[in-house]
Every structure is written in C-alpha cells, then in structure tokens.
C-alpha cells in the first residue's frame, strides 16, 4: 500500500515517509507543522493548502489515500500516530473513525459560529466543510413527469429507467441511511427493493457514469451527487458535457424533508502532536476564501452560509436541504448495507 506525502514545494522520499510514520510522538512534534491525513483527491485543493501555509507559516505534511486505509493506519499507529487532522469525503468514514476512538473533541468558538449545527458533531468530534446533494437527473425527452421525491423512484412508472451506483458506494449508503432515519427500516427496505426493480441495468460505475447513461440513452433517470453534473457544466467531461442540454434535474423532497446532503468532513486526531495547529487548520477551512475554493474548485456547496456559489453550482438553482444532523444518518450505515444486500442491490 502506498500513499503520497506532499510538502509545499517539496516531496518526501520513501525513506522519510517511513521515518515520519514510525517515529515517536516527540520526534514528529515540531512547531509550525500540521500532519494531514486526507482522502480528498482533488487537485484544486492545492490552493487550500498553499494559502493556509502562506497565511499562518504552518507547513502541511500530507498523506493521501483511501479513507478506510487511512483509518486503519491511524489504528495501527496508535498513540504514536503523527496524524493531526483526518479529512474525508463523506460522513460515514469520519463517523467510523469516531467509533474507533481515533478522534478528539474540539471546542472552537470559530467553528461553532461559522458552521450550522447540523453540519457538526454535537460534541465537536467532526465538522462538515463542504456539501453536495444527492439528487435526480433525467432525460427531458423521455421523462415527461420526473420523480419529485425519493419515494417516487419506487413507482412502477419508472421501471427500466433508473441508473444508480452499487450498494458498496458510500454515497448510496448515506442516502439509504437517511431514508432509514426519516422513514424507518421497513420503508427503507421497500424503497430499495422497488428501486432495484426499476433499474435499467445492474448498478455499476461512478456518478459520472450514471449521468453518461442518460446521455447515451441507456438510462432515463440517474441518481448522482450534484458536483459531478456541475463539473460537466464548468469544464469538458467526456461523454457528458455535450449532452448537458438534454438533461434536467430535480432536488427531491422540497415539500418534505429536503434534498439529502453529504459532506466532506474534518476532525482532529485523538493523539494529534500538533493539536493547536490542527484546530487552526479546521478553522481556516471555514473562512470565506476556503469556502469559495470548495465551490469554485470542486463544484461543491459551501458549508458556511452567505458564501458565493461558483457559476456552475449556482446554475442548479436554489433548493431546500435536509437539515437532519448527519450523526443521525451515519449511525444507520450498517443497517443500510444489510438492506441493500437483502434486496439484491449489487
């Protein structure tokens, strides 16, 4: 298993990586540093890191990898882990780290003031810094009346029309987890079974592949996070951008709970050797400038209210968000996986 370690204007060699991860806490502790374990893989985030370093003089030592691998690494490193901050691209992974006692509570007036209550853990264990909504996209020519709610996807009139990701995908798991939170396990099971029966093909690929399915005519309706479509508006995405005009979208449940949201989340590690710098980094992520980078660079929704949206995101329009605290959603992840398996959602 390999990971990239990056320092602003420098790259750590393999030997230095080994030393930094195996050394004692006293050895890795140094003024002016913060050690970031990140599962975010977006090139546009480079601006986030360079700006923080320029503003604070604090150097970011970064390890990138799959969230599950990073969490396993933190477990193995134990009390001597050099990790200061864990960044994930979804709520379920940061909650998994929480459940393994790998995170610590943070008491920050800045974070509490800048972030709405439903985007942070009640005890300050994790914080959401950017958002994306999981909504419906549809072929304007083939779908005269698109589904207006998540429940509508289960209607027989959409049989053979829907494309969706596999049951192992964290975004799908979070969506079903939210349905469990709002409607209960029985309703969630019935929904998953009916939607599976309405699929145009077996679950496969990423969100962009679901949207390409509409472009190619294989699907009439796709479930996808907003930022994949907004990206195709902003820049050329092969097999999708040329078909943007034929695709419509719906933010579900606008008269009910609101559209389901997921987040990129950050937390301070339980054994953070540079805890003060870690908190400073999380606070920086709520600044207007950082929040605008999330939107302009990766087509996400800011977590802080009042921050301007990038044109690609703004084009999707205003909508009502589901304001349930994501802690209530994430606790249902195991049950959601169980339901997916039971109904044959591959």
Per-block mean pLDDT, blocks of 10 residues, the chain (346 long): 37 34 38 91 84 96 94 97 95 93 98 95 96 97 97 98 96 96 98 98 97 98 97 96 97 98 96 97 97 91 94 96 92 96 96
The verdict on residue 159 lying in a domain is yes
149 belongs to a structural domain? yes
R_g of the chain computed on alpha carbons: 20
Instruction: Please state, in angstroms and rounded to a whole number, the distance separating the CA atoms of residues 60 and 52.
Output: 9
Are 115 and 193 within one domain? no
Q: Does 202 share its domain with 334?
A: yes
Domain that holds residue 115: 4-130+262-309
> Do 200 and 336 belong together in one domain?
yes
Residues 193 and 339 in one domain: yes
Q: Is 244 in the same domain as 302?
A: no
Let me know whether 154 and 227 are in one domain: yes
pLDDT score at 41 = 79
In a domain, 104, yes or no: yes
314 within a domain of the structure (yes/no): no
| Residues 204 and 337 placed together within one structural domain of the fold | yes
According to the model, what pLDDT value does residue 152 have?
98
Same domain, 108 and 146: no
Report helix, strand or coil for 8.
coil
Instruction: Answer yes or no: is 32 within a domain.
Output: yes
Asked if residues 159 and 198 have their Cβ atoms less than 8 Å apart, the reply is yes
Please give the Cα distance from 16 to 309 (Å, whole number): 40
CB 183 within 8 A of CB 128: no
Whether residues 192 and 45 fall in one domain: no
110 domain residue, yes or no = yes
Q: Which of 85, 86, 77 is nearest to 22 (CA)?
A: 77
Does residue 146 belong to any structural domain of this protein? yes
Going by C-alpha positions, the residue among 142, 133, 128, 111 that lies closest to residue 327 is: 128
CA–CA gap between residue 255 and residue 248 (Å, rounded): 19
Buried b (16+ CB within 10 A) or exposed e, 37-61: bbbbebeebeebbeebbeeeebbbb
Same domain, 12 and 144: no
Residue 238's domain is classified under what CATH number? 3.40.190.10
One domain, residues 142 and 233: yes
| Rounded Cα–Cα distance for residues 41 and 81 (Å) | 22
- Predicted confidence at residue 43, as pLDDT, reads 74
Nearest CA-CA partner of 71 in 58, 89, 47 = 89
Is the domain of 99 the same as that of 8? yes
pLDDT at 18: 32
Of 153, 144, 157, 274, the C-alpha closest to 222 is 153
Asked if residue 316 is part of any domain, the answer here is: no
- Whole-number pLDDT of residue 45: 84
Q: Would you give the distance in Å from CA 88 to the centre of its chain? A: 7
How many domains are contained in the chain?
2
């Amino acid at each position: 298993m390999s990971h990239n370690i990056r320092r602003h204007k420098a790259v750590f060699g393999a030997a230095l990586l080994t030393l930094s991860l195996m050394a004692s806490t006293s050895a890795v502790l140094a003024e002016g540093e913060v050690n970031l374990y990140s599962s975010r893989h977006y090139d546009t985030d480079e601006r986030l890191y360079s700006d923080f370093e320029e503003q604070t003089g604090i150097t970011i030592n970064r390890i990138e990898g799959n969230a599950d691998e990073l969490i396993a690494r933190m477990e193995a490193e134990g009390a001597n882990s050099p990790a200061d901050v864990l960044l994930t691209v979804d709520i379920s992974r940061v909650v998994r780290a929480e459940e393994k006692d790998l995170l610590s509570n943070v008491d920050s007036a800045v974070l509490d003031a800048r972030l709405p209550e439903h985007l942070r853990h009640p005890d300050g264990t994790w914080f959401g810094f950017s958002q994306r909504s999981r909504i419906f996209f549809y072929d304007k020519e083939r779908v005269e009346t698109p589904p207006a709610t998540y429940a509508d996807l289960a209607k027989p009139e959409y049989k053979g029309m829907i494309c969706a990701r596999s049951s192992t995908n964290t975004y799908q798991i979070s969506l079903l987890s939210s349905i469990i939170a709002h409607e209960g396990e029985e309703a969630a099971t019935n929904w998953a079974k009916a939607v599976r029966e309405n699929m145009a093909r077996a679950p496969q690929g990423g969100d962009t592949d679901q949207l390409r399915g509409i472009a190619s005519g294989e699907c009439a309706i796709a479930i996808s996070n907003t930022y994949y479509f907004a990206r195709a508006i902003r820049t050329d995405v092969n097999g999708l951008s040329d078909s943007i005009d034929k695709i419509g979208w719906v933010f579900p449940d606008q008269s009910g709970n609101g559209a389901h949201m997921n987040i990129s989340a950050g937390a301070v590690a339980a054994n953070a050797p540079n805890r003060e710098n870690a908190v400073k980094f999380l606070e920086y992520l709520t600044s207007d400038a950082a929040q605008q980078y999330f939107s302009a660079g990766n087509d996400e929704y800011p977590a802080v209210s009042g921050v301007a949206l990038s044109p690609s995101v703004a084009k999707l329009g205003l909508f009502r968000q589901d304001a349930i605290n994501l802690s209530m959603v994430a606790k249902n992840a195991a049950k959601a996986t169980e339901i997916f398996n039971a109904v044959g959602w591959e």
